[in-house]
């Protein structure tokens, strides 16, 4: 009975995650990050004819073979990433990064001056346009540190709170930005709630929760499970074996680390 209920809950959650694709398409067409990358890659097709003219027939044939090899290699990489990556943000970020490497390598073969021109273009995109994070909330809440503290101390809501502390200045936070919203859709109940706190906006609160930001936000994202106002567990651990640099953060990892399946079954069994 419990297993059936859990399966039904997960099925309902998946159906809730089916979102209208139009807002997502609108973001791709209007966000500077995607627009600048589109013009960057389209510029290659604009300058390619003039660059190829300077090559001999043999060099042109070799260049076409290199283009085909690069394209096939990139497609294989993209297929592997889309199978292994849990978040679209991580897939898009890694794919665009390696696409720029392939673009530089191809243009370096035809015209090294043209290839060097792409380096400042890469820097401009890096400085002016940040990859957008997932903007959905699911069944989670976006809280300020003071609001979170009042919720935990008053104890009028859920017993357990799984809170992610993040900053979207960090690519690791961007690529994992959909994990808590999607997990909240499946596992949130009257006994367990999910929330997020943006330390990019409230950096002064980091010390209160024992989080070291550092210059590169290396300890973010940080996930803390609270039982009322008492910390039960956290990732990454303070001085522990787990840290963000050597652990691949996935939804499966978070579910296992914080025993979300077990807590959901306990809640359903206790009804």
What CATH number corresponds to the domain at position 203? 3.40.30.10
- Residue 33 domain-assigned (yes or no): yes
Regarding whether 205 and 167 lie in a shared domain, the answer is: yes
- Residue 10 domain-assigned (yes or no): no
- Residue 172 domain-assigned (yes or no): yes
Alpha-carbon distance 133 to 174, whole Å?
5
Per-residue pLDDT band at 97 (split at 50, 70, 90): very high
Helices 179-187 and 2-16: crossing angle in degrees, nearest 10, is: 140
Regarding whether 137 and 260 lie in a shared domain, the answer is: yes
- Residue 6 domain-assigned (yes or no): no
Domain of 210? Answer: 133-269
- Residue 232 domain-assigned (yes or no): yes
- Residue 1 domain-assigned (yes or no): no
H runs (alpha helix) in the chain: 2-16, 21-30, 32-53, 57-84, 88-110, 112-128, 145-154, 171-175, 179-187, 251-257, 260-269
What is the number of structural domains in the chain? 2
What does the longest C-alpha to C-alpha distance in the chain come to? 77
Per-residue pLDDT band at 183 (split at 50, 70, 90): very high
Per-residue pLDDT band at 17 (split at 50, 70, 90): very low
For residue 111, count other CB atoms closer than 10 A to its CB: 17
128, 162, 180 - which closes a domain:
128
Q: Looking at residues 25-48, what average pLDDT do you find?
A: 87
109, 128, 147 - which closes a domain:
128
The pLDDT score that the predictor gives to residue 239 is 64
Regarding whether 224 and 163 lie in a shared domain, the answer is: yes
Regarding whether 211 and 182 lie in a shared domain, the answer is: yes
Regarding whether 143 and 225 lie in a shared domain, the answer is: yes
For the chain, give the mean pLDDT: 83
The pLDDT score that the predictor gives to residue 18 is 43
For residue 164, count other CB atoms closer than 10 A to its CB: 24
Regarding whether 87 and 26 lie in a shared domain, the answer is: yes
Considering only residues 123 and 248, tell me which one the structure prediction assigns the higher pLDDT.
123
The pLDDT score that the predictor gives to residue 14 is 43
Regarding whether 101 and 49 lie in a shared domain, the answer is: yes
CB 93 within 8 A of CB 131: yes
- Residue 187 domain-assigned (yes or no): yes
Residue 54 has pLDDT above 80, yes or no: no
Of 117-121, 235-239, 260-264, the one with minimum mean pLDDT is 235-239
- Residue 14 domain-assigned (yes or no): no
Evaluate if pTM is beyond 0.85: no
Regarding whether 244 and 169 lie in a shared domain, the answer is: yes
Regarding whether 175 and 57 lie in a shared domain, the answer is: no
Matching residue, tokens 């995650």? 17
């Amino acid at each position: 009975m419990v297993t059936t209920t859990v399966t039904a809950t997960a099925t309902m959650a998946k159906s809730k995650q089916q979102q209208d694709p139009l807002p997502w398409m609108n973001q791709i067409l209007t966000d500077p990050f995607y627009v600048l990358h589109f013009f960057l890659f389209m510029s290659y097709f604009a300058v390619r004819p003039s660059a190829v003219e300077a090559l001999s027939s043999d060099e042109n044939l070799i260049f076409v073979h290199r283009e085909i090899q690069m394209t096939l290699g990139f497609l294989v990489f993209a297929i592997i990433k889309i199978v292994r990556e849990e978040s679209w943000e991580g897939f898009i970020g890694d794919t665009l990064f390696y696409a720029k490497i392939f673009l530089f390598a191809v243009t370096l073969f035809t015209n090294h001056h043209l290839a060097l021109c792409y380096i400042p273009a890469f820097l401009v995109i890096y400085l002016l346009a940040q990859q957008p994070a997932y903007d959905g909330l699911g069944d989670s809440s976006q809280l300020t540190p003071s609001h979170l503290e009042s919720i935990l101390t008053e104890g009028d809501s859920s017993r357990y709170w799984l809170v992610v502390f993040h900053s979207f200045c960090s690519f690791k936070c961007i690529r994992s930005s959909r994990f808590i919203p999607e997990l909240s859709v499946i596992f949130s109940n009257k006994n367990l709630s999910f929330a997020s706190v943006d330390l990019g906006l409230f950096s002064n609160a980091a010390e209160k929760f024992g989080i070291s930001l550092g210059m590169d936000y290396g300890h973010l994202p940080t996930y803390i499970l609270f039982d009322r106002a008492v910390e039960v567990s956290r990732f990454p651990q303070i001085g522990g074996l787990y840290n963000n640099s050597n652990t691949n953060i996935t939804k499966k990892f978070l579910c296992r680390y914080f025993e979300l399946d077990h807590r959901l079954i306990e809640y359903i069994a206790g009804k």
